[in-house]
Amino acid sequence: MSLQQIARKEALFFSGHRACHGCGMALAVRHILKATGKNVIVVTPTGCLETFASPYGYSPWQVPWIHHLFENAPSIASGVAAALKAQGRDSVRVLVIAGDGSTFDIGFGALSGMLERGDDVLYICTDNGAYMNTGGQRSGASPTYSSTTTDPAGKESLGKTQMMKDLPAIVAAHSAPYVATASVAFLKDLQKKVKKAMLYHGPRYIQIDTPCPSGWGFPPERTLEIGRTGIDCGLVPIFEMENGKITSTHKIKKKIPVTDYLKAQTRFGHLFSDNRGQAELDEIQAMADRNIERYALLRESGNK
């Protein structure tokens, strides 16, 4: 048996799907399932993942997988969890893997209901910051002053002006026992958090930063680098919350300016085209600094 055949046999989500080169989401899903093992049922709403992982006549999924409407992943997952409980199948767990559009926006009401009921579901949001599947429209997760197809930058606009929704804090306010953020830039940390979440029962939430070369505008070979840069500037805080309290954070070894992160992506290019964007760049830097202070992201000897 070749190494490729061995890898294919052991993987629970393998190659052959239609994701873009350098897709952070595809990488995240592969490592999520490495951490959960095969005794899961995955629920996925409409979005990039559903589209590239379900071409006719082929499936990269080696676990049971359900696709449904854009807005009702939490409801479907809750129903599956209730059926498993009724059958006494405690060894099988329910996992939602959804994008930011269905999580932050379209399915937000159903998610709130799932959390309030205390259903035994691990909900994972693969956040690429827009509705990438349908053309890059803004979502509640789109960063402030990013250019999207529904908030395009131009002579009269500097992109999306609203703040990104702080969904981990909203989920934690529902008394979820485990809430975490992660990034494909640190895959061991991602796997560790998924394994930890699987030890809990009740509603759990993990939000993964999944850089998108096509939507963000960077070469596909730089996906992990872009992810690390977002963390090191403070715009993408990585942490764990257990029973409403922050219990761990990913410390920044060396703080970098947000411009190092933003310049690498065409979705922020308008902020550097002339002097119009300086006030907005200062505002984004202030956002990152607030994250660093709020989550204590700098090492004690780190640069300020």
Total tally of structural domains belonging to the chain: 1
Report if residue 303 sits inside a domain. no
pTM of the predicted structure, to 2 decimals: 0.94
Report if residue 223 sits inside a domain. yes
pLDDT value for 302: 45
Q: Which stretch of 5-19, 94-108, 129-143, 276-290 has the lowest confidence by average pLDDT?
A: 5-19
Report if residue 213 sits inside a domain. yes
Report if residue 301 sits inside a domain. no
Report if residue 123 sits inside a domain. yes
Residue 253 has pLDDT above 70, yes or no: yes
Report if residue 30 sits inside a domain. yes
pLDDT value for 18: 86
Question: pLDDT tens digits for 150-208?
Answer: 999 998 899 999 999 999 999 999 999 999 999 999 999 999 999 999 999 999 999 99
Residue 259 has pLDDT above 50, yes or no: yes
Report if residue 238 sits inside a domain. yes
234 close to 258: Cβ distance less than 8 angstroms = yes
> How high does pLDDT run on average in the chain?
94
Question: pLDDT tens digits for 18-34?
Answer: 889 999 999 999 999 99
Residue 56 has pLDDT above 60, yes or no: yes
Q: What pairing do the DSSP bridges indicate for beta strands 65-67 and 239-242?
A: unpaired
Question: pLDDT tens digits for 80-126?
Answer: 999 999 999 999 999 999 999 999 999 999 999 999 999 999 999 99
Q: Which stretch of 48-62, 85-99, 213-227 has the lowest confidence by average pLDDT?
A: 48-62
pLDDT value for 14: 80
Report if residue 75 sits inside a domain. yes
Q: What is the CATH number of the domain that holds 255?
A: 3.40.50.970
Task: Note down the domain range covering 236.
Answer: 3-295
Cα-to-chain-centroid distance, residue 81: 23
Distances (CA, A) of 194 to 49, 106, 142: 18, 24, 24
Q: Distance between CA atoms of 240 and 177, rounded to whole angstroms?
A: 11
